[in-house]
Structure 1
Amino acid sequence: MKSVRFTFLFVSISLLLVSTKLLAQTIRQRSTTEGLNLGIQGHYMGWSSDYFQFLDERSGSGPGIGGRVGYGFNQRFEVFAQYDFTSLNSTNIAAQSFHFTHTTAGVRFNFSATTHALRPYAEVGYAYQTGKADQVLNSNGGRDNLIFKGGSLHVGAGINYFIALPVAISLNGSLQAGAKSPVSINGFSTTDKADVAAFRISLGVLLFLSELF
């Protein structure tokens, strides 16, 4: 009887150890959003404005590049700051150059768990956007330097896919809207305020430094 009990106990303990080992192999960390992370991304931006209707119709989109720094306090809550530069086609508006910049600060809410490589997120923040067009041909045959800049609401969403800790590929869509940008022409401020909205689709790479040290 004692030998039967001992055998049963030995088998039970063995099964428990094997199950624990298999569970540890199956459930493992595949992602993180905690700590400091750095990113670089390319994007394609479109914009619109009733005030600058000619500009957005003739030069309404273009590619760009940006950088990002974020800090995750935990697996759900993260703060971030990023800078994006977009170059638009100036040929169709007979200009020397035309570009946008966006400086953004905000909070990101991450979803899913560290056992998943795919981590969706949503974000909201404040963006300061600047549009600058140099030597734009005007209706009188002359050329003007235009600058318009102002703050706007930033909302976005996307996914991070961890190819391997600590590196993730990030796909993001964001909208910058609600801006009433003061307009300057040839260095002189005007009383006009332009409505400007922009939309970006970005693809980039993130490095989570917390996983390196």
Structure 2
Amino acid sequence: MRYSPFTILLIGATLLMSTNLLAQTIRQRSTTEGFNLSLQGHYMNWSSDYFQFLDERSGNGIGFGGRAGFGLNQRYEVFLQYNYTSLNASNIAAQSFHFSHLTPGIRFNFSPTTRALRPYAEVGYAYQTGKVDQVLNQNGGRDNLLFKGGAAHIGAGLTYFVSLPIAITLGGSVQVAGKPTVQLNGRDTSDQADLSAYRISLGIVLYLSEL
């Protein structure tokens, strides 16, 4: 069977268009490998039976945080993040009240690099510190409280790549089963306080491997 030059040209053009469309379809739109840095803002809520008065009167606050991660591959990523939260001290007649969390952990990323939206789940260990300065006590005096200790960190969320190497991330996490030790006016006590924290975060991520 013979083909005319026009037919051959048409077949060639069709194959070329198909190849271009396929390349566009499978083009990379995201990555989780290599180093990444992020800044986040968050809303936090916390609860404790031991500090029942504090969590009822000043049980939430807003804060910010930073995060450094390294993607071992497209699935597994190790990270270290720090979050600082300021709570309303006037509700508890205190000078200041804040929380901090330092959390190393591992993140599991889902979906392929051809998708801009990448869900994730993560687990880790959070070291929690709460500090209340000059809080009014039942006797009319003022106390300084410091409580600190570890807790399990569990989180999940979504990372959306606006365009490589920039993404925005929305996630939620809990820090549970915490039993921090309690200091009162600079002295250690034998008390261990139950404490859980819940945080919703929104941030921006820069993937250094794509620069």
Identify whether the pair has TM-score above 0.5, normalized to the shorter chain: yes
What's 2:169 paired with? Answer: 170
SS of structure 1 residue aligned to 2:179: strand
In the TM superposition, residue 13 of structure 1 has moved relative to its aligned partner by 4.0
In the TM superposition, residue 24 of structure 1 has moved relative to its aligned partner by 1.0
What's 1:184 paired with? Answer: 183
1:13-28 counterparts in 2 under 5 A?
13-28=12-27
* Whole-angstrom CA distance in 2 between matches of 1:147 and 1:162: 40
Structure 1 residues without counterparts, runs of 5 or longer: none
* Whole-angstrom CA distance in 1 between matches of 2:210 and 2:3: 49
In the TM superposition, residue 7 of structure 1 has moved relative to its aligned partner by 6.8
What's 2:118 paired with? Answer: 119
What's 1:45 paired with? Answer: 44
Amino acid at match of 1:40: L
* Whole-angstrom CA distance in 2 between matches of 1:7 and 1:89: 77
1:78-157 counterparts in 2 under 5 A?
78-157=77-156
In the TM superposition, residue 26 of structure 1 has moved relative to its aligned partner by 2.6
Amino acid at match of 2:71: G
Amino acid at match of 1:108: R
SS of structure 1 residue aligned to 2:85: strand
Amino acid at match of 1:118: L
* Whole-angstrom CA distance in 1 between matches of 2:177 and 2:26: 45
What's 1:211 paired with? Answer: 210
TM-align CA RMSD? 1.4
TM-score by length of 1: 0.95
In the TM superposition, residue 158 of structure 1 has moved relative to its aligned partner by 0.3
Amino acid at match of 1:28: R
* Whole-angstrom CA distance in 1 between matches of 2:143 and 2:117: 48
* CA deviation string 1:83-104 (max 9, x = no partner): 0000000001000000000000
In the TM superposition, residue 12 of structure 1 has moved relative to its aligned partner by 4.0
Structure 1 residue 55 and structure 2 residue 42: aligned?
A: no
In the TM superposition, residue 14 of structure 1 has moved relative to its aligned partner by 3.8
* Whole-angstrom CA distance in 2 between matches of 1:133 and 1:53: 14
* CA deviation string 1:11-46 (max 9, x = no partner): 544432221112112321111111100000000000
Aligned residues: 211
SS of structure 2 residue aligned to 1:4: coil
Amino acid at match of 1:148: F
1:69-84 counterparts in 2 under 5 A?
69-84=68-83
Structure 2 residues without counterparts, runs of 5 or longer: none
* Whole-angstrom CA distance in 2 between matches of 1:63 and 1:18: 52
SS of structure 2 residue aligned to 1:113: coil
SS of structure 1 residue aligned to 2:28: coil
* Whole-angstrom CA distance in 2 between matches of 1:4 and 1:92: 86
Amino acid at match of 2:138: S
SS of structure 1 residue aligned to 2:15: helix
* CA deviation string 1:128-174 (max 9, x = no partner): 00000000100000000000000000000000111111100100100
